Structure formats: structure tokens, C-alpha cells
Structure 1
Amino acid sequence: MRKSLLLLFVASPFCTPAIAQDSVPDEGRAIVVTGGGLPLPPGTPAYGSTMIDRDRLLGSASNRIESVLADVAGFQQFRRSDSRSANPSAQGATLRALGGNASSRALVVLDGVPMADPFFGYIPFSALVPERLSLIRVTRGGGSGAFGAGAVAGTIELASALRADLPGVSGSAFYGSRDSSELSASINPDVGSGYVSLSGRWDRGDGFYTTPKGQRTIADVPAAYEGWNVGLRAVAPLSADMELQMRGLIFQDDRTLRFAGADSMSQGQDASIRLIARGLWQVDALAYIQARNFSNVVISSATFRKSLDQRNTPSTGIGGKIEVRPPIGADHILRLGVDSRLATGDMFEDAYNAMSGAVTARRHAGGQQVTTGFFAEDDWTLGSLVLTGGIRADRWTITDGFYRSQSPAGALTQDSHFADRSDWEVNGRAGALLHMNNTIALRAAAYTGFRLPTLNELYRPFVVFPITTQANAALAPEKLKGMEAGFDLMPLDGVTLGATIFYNKLDNAIANVTIATNVRQRQNVSAIVAKGVELTASARVSDVSVTASYAYSHSAVDAPGAAFDGFVPSQSPRHAASVTAAWAPRTGPSLSTTLRYVSKQYEDDLENDVLPDALTVDAVANLPLGKGMSVVGRAENLFDKAVVTRNAGGSIDLGTPRTLWIGIRFGQ
């Protein structure tokens, strides 16, 4: 059933151009296809945001979306590794040092569709290709608003490339260090009054040793990787002010982590259909389906034999949204709507005796979640002042949770069924934006939000040797309260400056809490309190541009009576900064370099294991050859800084070393 629905979604774009050709424009008006969503309400800047444009998306040294997002100081994954050498289930996205576990506390959406894995909550970064996007908007700070539930740390909006961004044919081919290859191509024909974009990417590499030389064993191997994805997007006008947008994505990502045989696989098939109406009554209607899977083999570091085979984790996400903007006057933009998401998943795994290799247990766990939210927001323009505010009420349910374990012979050794739960969460946000003049704007906002624990947090224990982390079916939702204030300044043409101070409190924060030697459990702690300042700057003079971002996040756990009370949440740095300088004349060669700094952070809740600070430098050079072709050189971690990504009692993992690429790009 799941695959049949996906095939129907993916096949539908091929049928729409005929409809588009037969459409008759309303009252003779010309049809204009954009491929984007509804216009941003005027109060959006009150919540503060950072934009990453298409030029920057195409100019990353790694050509991976998580590296581009690192331009926004305060963005982080659970670990510092990228999507070539991290375990996929550890690739959650968060902001403002509200970390502590691997699930996403930031809501990541692509054309309005939540991208988090329905079971684990991680983001499939390897499937999100930069050249398929027109922009990214990162809003640090909670408050779900009209986006959906789950935005306790912020919202990361990815927007697909528009027609104007897409040449008829484009592609690239790169070869890099350690026998790495990267191929991508897209064809983007006009069909009738609309267009279709078909794109694909494949990359692989022998990888690098994540283990420091002094800790390697006979079982250590480089972190080899291979992945591919195919995307299809079609946009068809239905009238002069209405269009249908359809998107399909299929991907698979295979990685080997540290030891021979420690292989992981993640795959997915996503499809969505979206109706955009830009007339007097504006409408954004969306429906989507996601089928995901994950597997992972854990190798014992003592015997180098398989100790766990997480062989199958199928999950499904189904959801939709309807937003309506009725015409209530030129000074107001009112947004009314409802959104809903169903997440269901199962985990099948086999445990092994690491000495004999015999199966010791077969486990099966899973459950279901449904969140349905009703929202209303209004932006009211009063001359140079814009007031914005909204409220949403979410009904959530957690049902059918279970954990079952059997002996190798099939005898039931544990059969736990957990109570169904449900409740309402009411949240809101409000902001003000005051344009003092053409040079300076002041803004302030306050908000609340919530996040349900993922099915993974509720029901699936895991092991990252030597640490075992237990699940907890009794976890309560996280709840955020926050406020911020700041300004945006344009003192000179081409120069912008911004500053934000913030205070966020995440109640019932879910953390991996140490309960015994080498044993942790997911628990709700009283709160994580994060406060700090964020600075942004950009300047362009002739062919030279500089963009910079800095975040200071004083984040601490509030857990009276616990050993970690007042400690920094695990994986949460105090300081993060990024600076990109580029020389890019209209014609001829171009060059850019990016410096990134992340201060020290702790692996664990008790601050025993330190991940040292890291300063890395990337560079990209582009030499046009004419006729849309260019030679591109890319350098990641140019000075080969050793970046520690894991430290478990002195057992170290490292991030990407110096990686050099050379290749050809055409049609961009």
C-alpha cells in the first residue's frame, strides 16, 4: 500500500503538463509560473532570520547541505561529523545550544514538508542537494506558528529552485582525495506552460580513518561511503494565479563507520503535492507521504565481531496542511489553517554474543504518533510599525507503543505494551518590527513551542561502545518559552549588520542521563536554559563580499539535585563563528574562503569527556571556460585540523580531514 501511494505521487507530474496546456488563463491574464510558495508576511523579520542565497548554496567546498547550514552560527548537529562519516541517526538539527541528544529540535521543512525521519527524528542531509534549492531561511528561536509542531529551537526552511534558477541542462563531475567521486546532473525542460525538473546525484569515497592512528586496531577501516538520490519536480499552472507543484525524491545512503562490517544504510521515498493560489483568497494546500528505512550493524571493539544488527527500521510519515489567507484589508495579512502529521515505525534488531557470534535475542519495537494543529496568525501594518502574532492548538496522541524480545529459539522473554497517551498543547508567538528609518529596524518577539519525543527516544535503546543508552516510554513532551530582541542596521550601501539577544527555556528537556557506569537513559530533565547573543554582518564592495555570523550561547541544565545540575548540555558549544570572504567579478575567475570556529563541548552530561575547540578553513576557486562551463577546485579543512567528533572515555573519533576536489561544472 505504501509503495503504491508513492508511485501514484511520483507518476502524477507526468500527467499534469497536458492539463496545463488545456488551461485557459482567467480573463485573458498571462500565466506566470513561479514554483515558489506564498509571499512572506511583512512581520516575518520580527522573529529574526538568516538567509542563505543560491550563490552560497553553489559555492560550498563540501557541496553538502549541512556544511552550508554551518554558516549560521548556532546551527549544529548532534556530532560534528558530516553526512559521509556520521551515523545517520545522529544527524539531528538544532540551534542555540539546546542540544543534548540526537533528535532534531529545529523544524526542517522542504517546500513546507517536514523532513525529519518519522522514527528517529534525524534529517537525511545527504538527500538534500544544494543545487536543487533556491534559498534557505533559518529562524533561530522557537514558536511553531504556521509551520507545524516541533520548532522548539527554530525553523529551517528549504525552498526548491525556481524556474529562473534552472538552466535547461546542468551538471558537474568531481574527483577528490581518497578516490572520492561526485556526479550530478539535471534536465529542466519547459512543458506546456509549466516545467519539469529531473535531477540526480551519486557520490562515493574510500573515506578516512575516523580513529586516531594511536588507537587503531586490526579491525579499523576508513569510513567509506556511497549514496545516490533522484529528484523529480513539476510545476503546472491551473490558472493565471494558481499552480500545482509536485515533488518526488528517492535516495539511499550507505556508510561504514570505524570497524570493518560496521555498515549503516538509510533510504527513503518521498512524494508531495502542493496547490498554491495567489489570488484574492490566497491558499497553500499540501499533502505528502514519506517511506523511510534504516539499518545498522554494531561491531564490538573488544572482539571485532558483530554485537548488534539493527537490520530493519521501516517508518512512514503522512501529512498535510491547508493555509488560507482571506482578504481582510491592505493592512492585515491573516493566516488560518490546519496541519497534521502521522508518524509510525518499527524497529527489528538481533543481538549477538560478541565472543561466539551466536544470536542472543531478537527484538521488535514500535509505535505511532499523530499531531494535528490549528493555527491563526495576523500581521498588522501601522505605517512603519508591523505587529505580528498567532496562536496554535495541537492535539497529539502516542499510541500502540511496544517492546518485544525473543530468545534465539523464539521464546518470548519480554512483551511490554505501553499505555496510549494524548493531550492538547496550546502555544503562541508575538512580535513587533519597527522601521525607524531606511537605515535601522528594531525587532522583538516572544514565543512558546513544544516537541513530542520521537518513537526512537520512546522505544529503542542503542549502543555506541562502551555506552548503552536505554529508551524511556514515559517521556513527556518538551516545552519551550523564549524571548528575544534585536536590530538590523544598514549604515552604508551594501553593508548590513544585525544583533539579537535571546533567552530560551526548554522545560522537560530530553537528555541522555548517566544512571550507571557506561549506562545512560533518556530522561526528561527539569529544563535547559539558553541565553546569549547572535551577531551577523555582510558587506559587498565591488567584486568583494564578506559575510559573518557569531553566536554566544550560555546554555545550562536546570536539574536540582542531579549530579549535572548547572552543567552545559552535551554537544553544546559556548561559541560558534563563521566568516566567508569571496572575490567574484561578473566575468573571469572567482575565489572564496570560509573560516569556521566551534569552541569546546562535552560528550556527556557529566562533563567528563571533552571535545576540543576546532578552527577549520575551506576554499573554493572557479575558472570559467566559456559556454557555461567552468573548472572548479574545492578544499575542505585546508590546514588539516584534527576535529574530534566523539570522545567516550578517551576513545576518539575524528571528523573530515583535508579533502581536495577538482572538477567541471556546466550550466549553472
Structure 2
Amino acid sequence: MKLGAQSLRAIMLAGAALMPVAAHAADEEAASPIIVTGAGLNAAPAVPAYSSREIDREALTSSASGRIEDVLANVAGFQQFRRSDSRYTNPSAQGATLRALGGNAAARTQVLLDGVPMADPMFGSVPWNAITPERLGSVRVTRGGGSGAFGSGAVAGTIELNSAGRDTLGLISGEALANDRGETSLSGAVAPKLGAGFAEVSGRWDRGDGFWTTPESQRVGASVKSRYDSWSIGARGVAPIANNVELQARAMIFDDHRVLRFAGATSHSSGEDFSLRLVGRGPWQFDALAYVQDRGFSNVTISASTFRPSLDQRQTPATGLGGKIEIRPPVGPDHLLRLGGDWRSAKGDLNEVAYNAATGAVTAYRWAGGRNDDLGFYAEDDWKLGPLTLTGGVRADRWSVNAGYNRAANATGAITANTAYDPRSDWAVTGRGGALLKLAPGLELRGSAYSGLRQPTINELYRSFTLVASGISTVTNANPALGNEMMQGYEAGVDFAPVPALKLSATAFYNRVAHAIANVTTAQTATVITRVRQNVDAIRARGLEFAAALDLGKVSLDGSLALTDAVVRASGMQIALNGMRPAQTPKIAASATVTWKPRDGWQGAVVLRHFGSQYEDDLQAYLMPSATTIGAFVQAPLGHGVSFILRGENLANVTVITRNQAGSMDIGAPRTVWAGLRFGLK
């Protein structure tokens, strides 16, 4: 993928296209005031019936690392496939899940940015490096809850990222920081008003030579620090085109280079996303969205024994196309009826070269890929009956797996394999429902039941790969016969606010993902571990979630705790997995943040976070111990819109193991201190 003048020109055109519309609206503003928000339709009244958590702007901009995945970790139960953040892990492993329903690198949680799915069309991973917290106004995390109006893929929950509006961003804003290793982070945004609308252009650049992800005892001459260099540019325009109707355009391009563990072990990901959204807030409310994604990925794997390339994943172009429309007809003050449909098409291709790691000679060429489609229709209704709010909905998805292929050639170019897979398609019906009862002021009971669907990714269907560590080769084979994951869940909870300053909540849940996709070990010798992506009978997770918030004015406390018992249910040839905990899944996760605001503009925050122990593999052979980290954030105003910023990651310098492959380990970021300036002009 080439990111250059053409991409920048597209971004500028997206914003420029709205300028005449905004100017025309400005001429009418005096006669009919128009309010532009840049947001979608208001959340449904029954959202609190599901286990949801709001993250506000202040929390987004005051994390210890300045990374969105760090902010999301404040919601206990959020996890990625790896414990490390998006600076220090392979981009294809950046999945996201909730409620201990992990086990592989693909996201089981639907991540939306202004309604647009962010998952990579090929891998199902999320480009966290391209999603910067300072561009966001709020986040809503819904654990469980089923697919509903969010689209298929939300088997473990939904993360809704909402861009900040003009009033939040101000005219000019930015940050410039450096850390004690000489790494830097630069970001900025310009958001001028355009008549009755506004435009925004923002950017961020992060670079650094990183740290040693390889433990000192395992370093060799070829070991290097985890170097990274990533940037992203976003443009957004919002303009009214009629009374109560606004047009929103968004564009984002990003580019990311990383080096992990060994010299030459490089990865490169890039993307160009564009979307148009039309939102109507009149008597007949509507939200219409269309988007296109162009993503690319390349990766060089270095042998851990010869330290030469063993695989060059040269190109993995992927395209995502989609759209959604939702209509809310006026059915009376006690009902909110939502009728809609959505469509997503994901296409990806793989082009890679395999080498003899000892001689450097080419041994094979491989190509694979395919296309997945999903067309969904849904209807949901929220009904208020005094203190009781009821919600229910049904969704039907027409899913298909198409154009799958796998080809290979030897070093001379002679074809050794050429397989085209038959297309598959069917309908799947899911639903959800819940109730919210206000028993008394400050006391609410809630309960819900739901189901959801996730298709296997193109990567899971067609891409095989091999990793070599500590003299052991781990071969993971794709499986073009993989079926869909189907989730069913139940939960009940209570929200209690005995006084306005104190909010408490507790949730008990039971989630079951049938036909869950896992990397299943099928053979093992002293030198080779063979795994195949397979559908196991199920992953069952049950547990308790707690949250507490205390606001005493200058001092506040926010805490979250998730206790989860997750097991694999398997039979037949997979019986060895039955009762095992899913890979990469902890039993306990907790986060607590204490914030101090002595006066206007001043702020301090300390974050204590605990990760429970988890296993690298399906057979629970390789353990990654629990860890507790401390982070901090300080902001001190200097005047004229400028503030001094101080951040601290892992201040206790705890060793966090992020990978344990047959004893070959990676570790997370050590103690890191950032300092710099933040400025803003309204």
C-alpha cells in the first residue's frame, strides 16, 4: 500500500466538500438556529440494562501512557491477545476481547469508531496505534450484550469510540512529550468552525528505539530493542444540510513500522479509512453510514536459531466495505423503535516467501485469501413503563464465505498446490432482551439475555504460520472449514448510589461461545509443536464484575474488578482441552484510579492495575505469572493555555511477561517517565 499525495488529497477533499454546505447553512442560521454535534443518534434508553461502562474525556487524556488500550484497561475484563501495548507487539496480534472469552488473536469484541468497525478485514486485529485518545470525546464499553444494532462480531461485547466535537477540541490543541529513553510523542489538532459546522485535522507521531523485550538471560548477538515509528493523520468535517440533518465525513490514514526481538524482524502496517454519515434528528430519526477501508501488512520472521529470515510475508492487502442504516420512527414517548440493516464485506490476500533459515535460499512461494460477507437486518424496541424499562430485539444475518483459495510453488516456481474452496452461506438469527427497574432513587436492578455471531477471519481460514523459539518450531495451520462462533449469555446486576458522590455496581454473568475458534495442539515432539485452528465445543465464562466511583470534589476514586471462571469445553479428538482455561485468559483483573484536582487546571492521577496469571497455550504448559503495575499522570498549568505534563508507566519497574513460547519469553515495558507540554486554544 502506498500512502502519499493521493491519500492526503483524499483527506483534504473530504473536509473541503463540506465547506460550501456549512457556508450555506450559516446564511440560514439567523432565521433558524442549527445545532451541529458531530455525533450519532442518542443512546437508547435501555443501554443501562446491559453491563456498560462510560469513559469520559478526562480519563481519555490522563492515562499513564497516552495509549487508548491503556485507557480501556481501566475497565477490568478488557484484554488484548498480548499484555503489551501497540508499540511493542506484532500488529496482527492486537485483538480485543472482554469477559475472558479470548484464546486467539482475532477480536471477539466489536470496536467501532463513530459507528465504523475498526477490525482489520484480514486479521480481525485492531490498529490501536491509529486511534489516539486525544481525538475522542467519550467511550462506551458494553460487556456481553450480543450483536443487536452493532453488527455481527460482538460475541464478547462492544467498544464504541466517539470522536470529540469542536467545543471539546477547541481551535488548536497539541502535545509534545519525550521519555527517559529518548522516545518522543507529538500530536496536534486544528478544529475551526465553518459556518454552522466545523472541520478538524489532527495528527500524531510516535517514535522510539524502545527497550529490551528479550530478557537479559536470553539475549544473543542478533537481539535488538523494540524499535517503533508510527504516525496517523485524521480529518473530519461536520455540516448541517437541513434543519435537524447533518452530514459527517471522516478520513484517517496511518502507517506503522516495528522491529521486535531480532534485527531484521520487522513488521509494517498501514491503512486508509474513509466514511460518510448522514444523521437526522427530526421526528423520523435516521443514521445512514457508508465506509471503505484499505489496509496493508507485511512481516519478516527471523529464525531464533540462525537469526536469518525464515519467512517474508511481503504483502497482505485487505479491503473492507460496508454500510448501515437505522431508522427510528415516531411511535410515541414511551417507545423507541429501531429498524435497520448493515452490510460488511472483508477481502484479504496473502503473498509470502519462505526461506531456508540456514542457507537463505528460497524454499517456497505461497498465496492465500478469500472474502467474507455479512448482510444483517435488525429490529429493537425499548418500552418505558413507569420505573420499568423493557428492551428486546431480533437480528438476522445472511453470512457467506467466498472465493477462498490456497496456492503454493517451489523455489523454481513450479506449482505444488492449487486449491479453490467451495463457497458457503446461510442465515443466522440472534436476539437480545433486557429489563431495567428503578426500585428507589439511586437503586436500579437490571437483567438481560442475548446471543451473537462471529465469522472466522480470513486469516483464521487460510493463513498458516510457523514460529521458532528455543529450538522448538510451533506450526499453526489454517482451517478453511472453520464454522461461525455463536454466543449465548445471561446476566443480572445492581447499580446503587446511596449518595450522589458514591456509585456502586455489581454484575453476575454467564457467557458461552459455541464452536469457539482456538489454536488446538494436535501433535508434539521434542522439536515441533503442531497446532490447527479448530472449532472447539465451546468456551464457557462465568463470573462477577464490580465497579465503584467516589467523587469528593478535589479527590475521586474509580475502581473496577472482574473475577472470571473461564473453561474450554471439548470432546472427541480435542478431549485433552476439556476443562482447560482458554489461552491468554486471566482469572482476575483489577484497576483502581485515584485522581486529585486541587484547583482549576491542576490534576494528578495514580493508577494501580493487576493482571492475573494466564497461559500462553491451549494445554496450559507455559505460564505467564500475575503482575501488578503502577502508573501516574500529572498536569500543571503554566498559563496562556499551556500545561506541563508528566506521565509514568510501570513506576515500580515490575517485570511483566507478555509471551512465553516454550520458555522463550518477551517482557513488557519497564519503568518509563514522560515529560512535556500540552497546549490548547479555544
Shift of the alpha carbon at 1:500?
Answer: 0.4
CA distance in 2, matches of 1:380, 1:29: 33
Partner AA of 1:50 in structure 2:
R
Distance 1:294-1:443 versus aligned 2 partners, 3 A rule: same
CA distance in 2, matches of 1:198, 1:597: 37
CA distance in 2, matches of 1:483, 1:28: 51
Match of 2:540 among 509, 520, 529: 529
Aligned match of 1:490: 497
CA distance in 2, matches of 1:383, 1:250: 47
Match of 1:19 among 14, 21, 24: 21
CA distance in 2, matches of 1:252, 1:212: 28
Offset from partner CA, 1:64-117 (integer Å, 9 cap, x none): 101110001000000101011100000000000001100000000001000000
Contact 1:10 1:271 in 2 (8 A): no
Aligned match of 2:332: 329
Partner AA of 1:144 in structure 2:
S
Contact 1:17 1:193 in 2 (8 A): no
Contact 2:11 2:235 in 1 (8 A): no
CA distance in 1, matches of 2:451, 2:181: 47
Shift of the alpha carbon at 1:364?
Answer: 0.6
1:557 aligns with 2:568: yes
Shift of the alpha carbon at 1:589?
Answer: 3.2
Aligned match of 2:106: 103
1:317 aligns with 2:320: yes
Partner AA of 2:39 in structure 1:
G
1:453 aligns with 2:456: yes
Shift of the alpha carbon at 1:8?
Answer: 5.4
TM-score by length of 2: 0.96
Shift of the alpha carbon at 1:620?
Answer: 0.8
Partner AA of 2:14 in structure 1:
S
Partner AA of 1:513 in structure 2:
V
Contact 1:576 1:598 in 2 (8 A): yes
CA distance in 1, matches of 2:197, 2:30: 19
Other structure's SS at 1:563 match: helix
Partner AA of 2:530 in structure 1:
V
Other structure's SS at 2:577 match: coil
Aligned match of 1:602: 615
Aligned match of 1:255: 258
Other structure's SS at 1:34 match: coil
Query: What does 1:495-506 align with in structure 2 at a 5 Å threshold?
Result: 495-506=502-513
Partner AA of 1:369 in structure 2:
N
Aligned match of 1:566: 579
CA distance in 2, matches of 1:652, 1:19: 56
Contact 1:9 1:273 in 2 (8 A): no
Aligned match of 1:297: 300
Partner AA of 1:559 in structure 2:
A
1:400 aligns with 2:403: yes
TM-score by length of 1: 0.98
Shift of the alpha carbon at 1:656?
Answer: 1.0
1:389 aligns with 2:386: no
CA distance in 1, matches of 2:622, 2:12: 47
Aligned-pair Cα RMSD in Å:
1.5
Aligned match of 1:34: 37
Aligned match of 1:346: 349
Aligned match of 1:135: 138
Shift of the alpha carbon at 1:13?
Answer: 2.2
Aligned match of 2:434: 431
Shift of the alpha carbon at 1:437?
Answer: 1.7
Aligned match of 1:645: 658
Stretch moving more, 298-307 or 173-182: 173-182
Aligned match of 2:485: 478
CA distance in 2, matches of 1:104, 1:166: 30
Other structure's SS at 1:457 match: helix
Shift of the alpha carbon at 1:28?
Answer: 3.7
1:308 aligns with 2:321: no
Aligned match of 2:247: 244
Aligned match of 1:612: 625
Partner AA of 1:656 in structure 2:
A
Contact 2:270 2:297 in 1 (8 A): yes
Shift of the alpha carbon at 1:6?
Answer: 9.8
Aligned match of 2:222: 219
Aligned match of 2:635: 622
Distance 1:183-1:227 versus aligned 2 partners, 3 A rule: same
Other structure's SS at 1:608 match: coil
Other structure's SS at 2:291 match: strand
Shift of the alpha carbon at 1:409?
Answer: 1.5
Other structure's SS at 2:71 match: helix
Distance 1:10-1:425 versus aligned 2 partners, 3 A rule: farther
Contact 2:245 2:281 in 1 (8 A): yes
Query: What does 1:171-182 align with in structure 2 at a 5 Å threshold?
Result: 171-182=174-185
Contact 1:6 1:270 in 2 (8 A): no
Query: What does 1:146-165 align with in structure 2 at a 5 Å threshold?
Result: 146-165=149-168
CA distance in 2, matches of 1:622, 1:20: 36
1:513 aligns with 2:520: yes
1:45 aligns with 2:45: no
Shift of the alpha carbon at 1:357?
Answer: 0.2
Aligned match of 2:649: 636
Other structure's SS at 2:15 match: helix
Partner AA of 1:491 in structure 2:
P
Other structure's SS at 2:20 match: helix
Shift of the alpha carbon at 1:436?
Answer: 1.0
Distance 1:200-1:5 versus aligned 2 partners, 3 A rule: closer
Aligned match of 1:230: 233
Q: Count matched residues.
A: 668
1:592 aligns with 2:599: no
CA distance in 2, matches of 1:2, 1:318: 19
Aligned match of 1:543: 554
CA distance in 2, matches of 1:338, 1:194: 28
Shift of the alpha carbon at 1:614?
Answer: 0.6
Offset from partner CA, 1:395-419 (integer Å, 9 cap, x none): 0110100011011221001111111
